[in-house]
């Protein structure tokens, strides 16, 4: 578990440094957030949505780090649905509350960027983790990831090959079609697969909208379609008429009488 927690534990000192630099830079913001020049800092942290094991681990890591930093007050909150408009609403609330820093796992890298830019313009330090926002439009200062996208792509593809062979027919159930991190993984998986497993085939990609039960359902649907396709193929082959056998000389002689 410690290995999963360290990236978010590491992100809190990054936020502290960002707050200090933002406060000490002339002209950084017309009205810096309270605490930026000293005193207790309020850090607001947002997952894609609450209730997922991975983000529960992120919350635990952030809370452990906050306990070690006496000058930090941590707010951990997020939407109950994987919808970027809910994230934007919460970010706007935090800007109004004038927190010192915001850390967010973006549901949509493009749609969330204006809200993060608004926070930056208000003097709030901004980082992303797990799933990045568009860097330039959002103005975010850091992106903290659990490991490189290339290593994730290679590990997932190698595991599929290990389980079903280098010419396996595969499918992907992703969190959502707008998730920036998983879209990046899939792009890199394609490049890696073409280079190392040229005979491996991707049949389909389906979103689960960050819903575990929907992910299971989508997986079962894919498996049923694959099985039905195989049965249908075998059935067509078994019903195909036998090719006529060429007549021998004796048969032609009998028919001509």
At residue 49, does pLDDT exceed 80?
A: yes
On the question of pLDDT at 81 being above 80, the answer is yes
Q: pLDDT tens digit string along 216-234?
A: 999 999 999 988 887 766 6
How do beta strands 101-104 and 125-129 pair?
parallel
Instruction: Give the chain's largest Cα–Cα span.
Output: 114
Report whether 100 contacts 42 (CB < 8 A).
yes
CA-angle at 134, arms to 154 and 218, nearest 5°: 50
Q: What is the pLDDT of residue 248?
A: 54
Task: Give how far the C-alpha of residue 154 lies from the chain's centroid of Cα atoms, to the nearest Å.
Answer: 16
Q: According to the model, what pLDDT value does residue 29 have?
A: 46
- Residue 82 reports pLDDT greater than 70: yes
Distance from the Cα of residue 134 to its chain's centroid: 14
Fold designation for 149-229: Rossmann fold (3.40.50)
pLDDT of residue 240: 58
State the pLDDT at residue 227. Answer: 87
What does the DSSP 8-state code read for residue 35? T
What is the assigned CATH class of domain 2-144?
A: alpha beta
Looking at the chain, the whole-number percentage of residues with pLDDT higher than 70 is 75
Name the least confident of 112-121, 179-188, 226-235.
226-235
Write down the pLDDT at residue 228. Answer: 86
Q: Which sequence spans correspond to the domains of the chain?
A: 2-144, 149-229
Residues 6+ away with beta carbon under 8 Å from 256: none
pLDDT tens for each residue of 124-167: 999 999 999 999 999 999 999 888 999 999 999 999 999 999 99
CA 165 to chain centre: 26
Q: Distance from first CA to last CA of the chain, Å, rounded? A: 88
Tell which wins on pLDDT, 252 or 229. 229
pLDDT at 254: 45
Higher pLDDT, 147 or 63: 63
């Amino acid at each position: 578990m410690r290995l999963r927690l360290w990236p978010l534990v590491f992100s809190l000192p990054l936020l502290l440094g960002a707050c200090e630099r933002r406060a000490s830079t002339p002209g950084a913001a017309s009205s810096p957030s309270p605490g930026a020049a000293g005193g207790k800092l309020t850090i607001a942290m947002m997952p894609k949505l609450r209730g997922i094991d991975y983000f529960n681990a992120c919350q635990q890591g952030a809370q452990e780090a906050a306990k070690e930093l006496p000058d930090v007050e941590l707010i951990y909150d997020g939407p109950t649905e994987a919808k970027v408009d809910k994230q934007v609403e919460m970010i706007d609330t935090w800007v109004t509350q004038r927190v010192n820093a915001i850390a967010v796992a973006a549901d949509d890298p493009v749609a969330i960027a204006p809200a993060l830019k608004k926070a930056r313009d208000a003097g709030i330090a901004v980082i992303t983790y797990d799933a990045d926002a568009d860097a330039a439009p959002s103005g975010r200062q850091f992106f903290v990831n659990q490991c490189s996208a290339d290593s994730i792509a290679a590990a997932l593809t190698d595991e599929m090959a290990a389980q079903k062979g280098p010419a396996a027919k595969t499918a992907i159930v992703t969190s959502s079609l707008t998730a920036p991190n998983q879209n990046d993984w899939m792009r890199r998986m394609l490049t890696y697969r073409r280079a190392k497993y040229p005979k491996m085939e991707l049949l389909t990609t389906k979103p689960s909208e960050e819903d575990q039960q929907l992910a299971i359902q989508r997986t079962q649907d894919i498996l049923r379609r694959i099985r039905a396709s195989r049965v249908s193929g075998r059935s067509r082959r078994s019903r195909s008429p036998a090719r006529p056998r060429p007549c021998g000389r004796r048969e032609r002689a009998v028919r001509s009488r």
